[in-house]
Amino acid sequence: MKKLIIFLCVYLSAYTITNTKFYTKQIKPTILKADLKITITQKDLNNLIEVLNQNINKIKILCQKTTYTFKPVYKNETFETYKADIYAECSFKKDNIKNFSHLIKKLQNTKIKLTSLNYIISEKDKKNIINSLKTKAYNDILKEASLLSKKLNKKCFATNINLYTPFETKRLYATKSFSELPLPQENKTLSIKADYKIECY
């Protein structure tokens, strides 16, 4: 019976703290990502293929991924022309925005639609920033447990530490003309969420 009373006293003096914290970092990305739709029309199929190849070779300077489709266009069952659409994903440093603009103007016999323009963070930089935030969160939680141990004169331990990377929102712009497109905001925020418990005995 005596042992049971001692056990109950120890149990009642123990408690658990559950908490959630957010860690964020404001950054200014240096890379722009642009999505293009380039439309070409030609009466002659050979001419269409030639113009298609010429424009694809030009945009490869700043665009890393390109796909295309082409088809004949009919009106009232009468052949009108051949049409090709090029879809390009382009990533470049913001210092190259003028070069990108000049590249767009050099494309021949085309209609160009810039469907989106965003500042992005490279995967390497994003990974480094997230890892840095996770390290800070983990160290802060351990420090909090240590301070509680001294304050309460108990043994406090951090448990159930879960670190999450919340969804990152992107701003998209759509326009029919490159000149109409507003430049996106440079500032971006990367955040993580930390859920944890501190148990003291």
Q: Residue 142: which CATH number? A: 3.30.110
Query: Are 21 and 99 part of one and the same domain?
Result: no
- Per-residue pLDDT, averaged over 175-192, amounts to 63
Q: Is residue 22 part of a domain?
A: yes
Average pLDDT over residues 113-140: 90
The answer on 133 and 83 residing in a single domain is no
Distance CA 114, CA 177 (A): 7
Tens digit of pLDDT for each residue in 45-78?
A: 999 999 999 999 999 989 999 999 989 999 998 9
Same domain, 138 and 193: yes
Domain range holding 82?
32-120
What is the per-residue pLDDT across 85-101, written as a single tens digit (0 to 9) for each?
999 999 998 888 888 88
Would 25 be classed as within a structural domain? yes
pLDDT of residue 152: 87
Same domain, 108 and 131: no
pLDDT at 121: 84
Q: Which of 120, 137, 157 is the last residue of a domain?
A: 120
Report how many domains make up the chain. Answer: 2
Which residue among 101, 120, 139 closes a domain?
A: 120
User: Are 57 and 103 found together in one domain?
Assistant: yes
| 112-116: average pLDDT | 88
| Residue 38: both structure tokens together | 């380039």
Q: Is residue 167 part of a domain?
A: yes
Whether residue 174 sits in one domain with residue 136:
yes
The verdict on residue 5 lying in a domain is no
Q: Which two tokens stand for residue 49?
A: 């293929």
Q: How far is CA 82 from the centre of its chain?
A: 37
